[in-house]
């Protein structure tokens, strides 16, 4: 198997009711790569950073088996920077700063050694950049998973529709699903969105879990009830990373295996929110991960004999 991850590698500055950070490593592809690295020895990254991006952070990614052959470093430019402040309920946030910098002209390079890609994860990015990566792969991957956000629905809907028509799985949150489908009911929304291209749809509901739709099948994965959510930044990307990472490592894209992927993704995301940024997911042990997955099993396990 070969897993390619595309997305932003960037700086974040985060403020929550529990404190604030300086510029720390962030970006969709960072979270996705780290999360999927717990399931795969090698994760092939496609991204761009500026000359200001610390070599130590790149080394940290490499230490997780992330292949940075597809990471462009534009020495004279600056990395993408996002800054946000979460409200007390942790469910809403204000964006304080968005500096596109290198991301404004991102032309993704797909190294030759990535051409055997079987699993492609398109992290949130301009949909035209996402479709460019698909085009630059000579052979279509076995599974293409895509994340996006409402911003692209507002400013690049045509591009988004095109990219949607090319992918197998779309992962978005409930608010985005409603905006994309113009339906309030998530069941109705799912039907409309699956008619736009993706055969499988994941709707993330944050602290309320996630839904997985496939034709007439639906699976629900809970979120772990936590005492405290410290910083939700990157939780959705970490979820996606756990999901694609698990699928790529097991080489099984059946609906039943996607259910397991959703549980692993949810487990990874539950770690992510426990500390600022990537702090909690840079150094997880196998025992920690297994014990967390067991908590998910226990959380929903019941036995009913019907009839």
Least separation in angstroms between residue 190's CB and a copy of itself is 8
Kindly report the backbone phi and psi dihedral angles of residue 23, in degrees, each rounded to the nearest multiple of 5, phi listed first: -65, 120
**Cβ at position 230, least distance to a copy of itself in Å:** 11
**Strand positions, DSSP E, 161-282:** 169-173, 200-204, 210-214, 217-221
Alpha carbon 295 to chain centroid, angstroms = 22
Distances (CA, A) of 199 to 81, 146, 168: 33, 12, 5
* Site residue total, a copy of itself (CB under 8 A): 37
Non-local (6+) Cβ contacts of 246 within 8 A are 39, 257, 260, 261, 264, 265
Report the distance separating Cα 227 and Cα 222, nearest Å.
Answer: 15
Return the residues of window 154-183 that contact a copy of itself according to CB under 8 A: none
Pick the closer one to a copy of itself by CB: 29 or 258: 258
Residue 222 makes CB contacts below 8 A (sequence gap 6+) with 209, 266, 296, 299, 300
The pattern of x and - marking residues 79 through 118 that bind a copy of itself according to CB under 8 A reads ---------xx-----------------------------
Q: Going by C-beta distance under 8 Å and a sequence separation of 6 or more, which residues neighbour residue 240?
A: 32, 35, 121, 123, 145, 147, 171, 265
260 binds a copy of itself (CB under 8 A): yes
Q: Which residue in the set 142, 188, 192, 275 belongs to the binding site for a copy of itself (CB under 8 A)?
A: 188
Residues 218-257 that bind a copy of itself (CB under 8 A): 218-222, 225-229, 256
Q: Which is nearer to a copy of itself, 134 or 203 (CB)?
A: 203
Residue 187 in contact with a copy of itself, rule: CB under 8 A: yes
- For a copy of itself, the binding residue among 10, 66, 186, 269 (CB under 8 A) is 186
The region of 56-64, 72-80, 157-165, 212-220 touching a copy of itself under the rule CB under 8 A is: 212-220
Applying CB under 8 A, the span of 18-26, 211-219, 232-240, 276-284 interacting with a copy of itself comes to 211-219
- Asked if 210 contacts 243 with a C-beta cutoff of 8 angstroms, the reply is no
Answer for which of 46, 167, 211, 281 binds a copy of itself (CB under 8 A) is 211
CA distance 154 to 180: 10
CA gap 123, 5 in Å, rounded? 7
160 vs 223, beta carbon nearer a copy of itself: 223
Applying CB under 8 A, the residues found at the interface with a copy of itself are: 88-89, 184-188, 205, 208-209, 211, 218-222, 225-229, 256, 259-260, 263, 290, 293-294, 297, 299-304, 306-307
């Amino acid at each position: 198997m070969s897993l390619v991850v595309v997305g932003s590698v960037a700086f974040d500055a985060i403020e929550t009711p529990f404190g604030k950070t300086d510029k720390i490593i962030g970006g969709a592809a960072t979270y996705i790569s780290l999360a999927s690295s717990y399931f795969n020895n090698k994760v092939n990254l496609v991204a761009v950073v500026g000359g200001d991006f610390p070599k130590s952070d790149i080394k940290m990614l490499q230490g997780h088996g992330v292949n940075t052959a597809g990471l462009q470093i534009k020495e004279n430019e600056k990395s993408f920077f996002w800054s946000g402040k979460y409200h007390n309920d942790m469910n809403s946030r204000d964006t304080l700063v968005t500096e596109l910098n290198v991301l404004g002209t991102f032309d993704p390079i797909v190294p030759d050694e990535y051409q055997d890609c079987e699993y492609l994860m398109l992290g949130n990015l301009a949909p035209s950049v996402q479709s460019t990566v698909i085009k630059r792969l000579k052979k279509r991957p076995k599974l293409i998973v895509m994340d996006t956000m409402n911003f692209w629905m507002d400013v690049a809907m045509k591009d988004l529709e095109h990219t949607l028509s090319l992918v197998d799985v779309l992962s978005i949150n409930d608010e985005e699903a409603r905006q994309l489908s113009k339906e309030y009911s998530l069941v109705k929304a799912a039907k409309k969105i699956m008619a736009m291209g993706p055969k499988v749809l994941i709707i993330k509901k944050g602290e309320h879990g996630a839904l997985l739709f496939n034709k007439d099948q639906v699976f629900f994965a809970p979120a772990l009830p936590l005492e405290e959510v410290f910083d939700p930044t990157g939780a959705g990307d970490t979820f996606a990373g756990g999901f694609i990472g698990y699928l790529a490592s097991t080489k099984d894209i059946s609906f039943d295996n996607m259910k397991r992927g959703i549980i692993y993704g949810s487990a990874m995301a539950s770690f992510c929110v426990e500390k600022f940024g990537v702090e909690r997911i840079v150094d997880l042990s196998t025992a920690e991960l297994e014990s967390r997955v067991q908590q998910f099993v226990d959380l929903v396990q019941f036995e009913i004999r019907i009839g």
